[in-house]
Amino acid sequence: MGISHNLNLRSYEHRRHVEGTNALFTREDAVLQTRDDCEPADPADTVTDRLNTLLNSSGPGYTLPLCPNEQYLIQAPILFAAPNQEISTVGYPEGDDRATLIVSGPVVNGSGQTTAVDGSCATCSGVRLRHIQVNGTRLGQGIINGGANIEMGGSNSDQLIEFVHSFDPRSWSCLHVAEGAFSCNNVTVQNNDIGPCGSDDFQQWADGISMSCMNSVVRNNMVNNPTDGGIVVFGSPGTLVENNVIWVETQTLLGGINMVDYDPWKGNFTNTIVRNNLIKGGFADGLPSGNETDGPNVDDVIIKIGLAIGPRTWFGDRYGNNVSSSGTVLNNSFTGAFGYAIAMSSAFNFTVEDNVLTGNTSFIGARGPNCSSSDTLPNPDPFIVDWSSVSQSTTQIDFQNVTDGNSLTCIMPPGNGDFWPFGGNPSASQSQPSGSGSSSGSSSGSSGLSGGAKAGIAIGVLLGVAAVGAATYFIRKWALKKQAARRQSAWSGPSGTENSPSKGSLY
């Protein structure tokens, strides 16, 4: 194909300061050779081998150029093979004209292809996945064992994943950055649009972004309709998670941002910072009438825990007295319907401050069939902490102490009723009314959240936080279109236990 492609030299640099520690991460992209063509998607029966042969035979610094508006029906993962290689769409588009890798390998007896791109080879430092789309094609079927839509990381450094749309994975995550031999370092995941991921049917869940690489950055991502964790941080010491938007529309989400997994880093969140993220729970359908602040939601959608800290919040006593340790959670915002905005238990040396509720909020949910009869389920509330299992930690003053912070994702949203706040998510075009939300448990809210831009395009997400101080932040302006957003039926499966292929989690 004769599509002109001029590749400019680009460099990426980001800096972070952690109290007592200065960390500087620098990436200088390899010199990329100009190509005037792209690798066609047809014939489809040879495309997997052709793409992998080009990566295998072309050496370090090679860019595999995919064609705009093309769909590549791949039968096996596309494998990075050498340092500083890149897979991208010619011209670096950001919308539906990005090339799409479609997972097309057969599934037999619950086994088959789950991964479209794998960048975890032994020589994959510096590889870049940019400006493409990945369709995992679960298509409403059951989850199968295997890797995520995109598998990156491993024992490598300086990888980049940006402007990628990953959705509908057959397995447990839309994007996974693995720790390798605990030597993965400095991976940047930015400006991606992720989701939908998984189904909210029991044990059919999937993460949006799963990060297990140390000293990494997860920023400016839009994560729509994940079902397990929106962004799951597996310890990943030294990692910064900031300026991401996570929201639900048609599926209940177990946790917005999770800092709960003891494995593989043994609960080590040292110098891991989660800050300035926006997490949007369920909202009422339609527009309010008169002075209404709450209404029904046809899918009964909530986020069970907006931000979860500590293994006991998720796994109960599975890890005994083990804890999540030494993380920092600052200036995150929550709006919409949740069970809990932040829940914290089994934690050591955490700092959790200046997190706020914005716009209309409701805190709703009741004991589900998978809740343990021995556990005392806390009433829905914005900020809860079980101080019996939390030590040497600092929290903001509006945390409520609870006597049992175990297994909180067992709650279920109400089946019907006017419990959901009017407002909206990044797909809503209506303005958000002011006023406090209400719930069957407890509720809190404040005015000041601007209406979201259209979903998938997500233009100009600008938050004005007026509830506690003058905490404001800006989510960068970028244009994206949503492709093949799968609408799920009303939530019907209770949340209780999960055995994730990667995490071995008991949810």
Sequence ranges of the domains in the chain: 11-26+59-474
What is the H or E stretch that residue 369 is in? none
Interatomic CA distance for residues 314 and 311, integer angstroms: 6
Whether residue 237 has a cis bond before it, omega within 30° of 0 = no
Q: What is the DSSP letter of 33?
A: P
CB 307 within 8 A of CB 342: yes
Which of 325, 383, 372, 377 is CA-nearest to residue 350? 325
Instruction: Please give the C-alpha separations between residue 185 and each of 77, 215, 249, 406, in angstroms, as whole numbers.
Output: 23, 6, 34, 32
Greatest CA span in the chain, whole angstroms?
67
CATH number of 11-26+59-474: 2.160.20
Q: Given 3-state DSSP classes, what are the helix, strand and coil percentages for the chain, each rounded to the nearest 5?
A: 5, 35, 60
Interior CA angle at 140 toward 139 and 142, to 5°?
110
Res 400: pLDDT: 96
User: Distances from the Cα of 452 to the Cαs of 22, 81, 197, 341, 418, in angstroms?
Assistant: 35, 40, 21, 20, 22
Name the pTM for this structure.
0.79
Alpha-carbon gap, residue 75 to 102, rounded angstroms: 9
Nearest to 379 by CA among 419, 338, 350, 418: 338
Dist. CA 415–CA 314, nearest whole Å: 23
Q: Is the dihedral of CA 415, 416, 422, 425 positive or negative?
A: positive
d(CA 442, CA 356): 16
- Classified as helix, coil or strand, 128 is strand
Rg of the Cα trace of the chain?
A: 22
Predicted pLDDT at 376: 85
The pLDDT, as a whole number, for residue 456 is: 33
Instruction: Report pLDDT for 10.
Output: 30
Q: What is the pLDDT along the chain (507 residues), one digit of tens a residue?
A: 333 333 332 332 333 333 333 333 333 443 334 345 899 999 999 999 999 999 999 999 999 999 999 999 999 999 999 999 999 999 999 999 999 999 999 999 889 999 999 999 999 999 999 999 999 999 999 999 999 999 999 999 999 999 999 999 999 999 999 999 999 999 999 999 999 999 999 999 999 999 999 999 999 999 999 999 999 999 999 999 999 999 999 999 999 999 999 999 999 999 999 999 999 999 999 888 888 889 999 999 999 999 999 999 999 888 888 999 999 999 999 999 999 999 999 999 999 999 999 999 999 998 988 888 877 899 999 999 999 999 999 999 999 999 999 999 999 998 878 999 998 766 433 333 223 333 333 333 322 222 233 333 232 332 333 333 333 333 333 333 333 333 233 223 333 333 333 333 333
CB under 8 Å to 21, separation ≥6 — which residues? 271
Task: Work out whether strand 472-474 and strand 328-330 pair parallel, antiparallel, or are unpaired.
Answer: unpaired
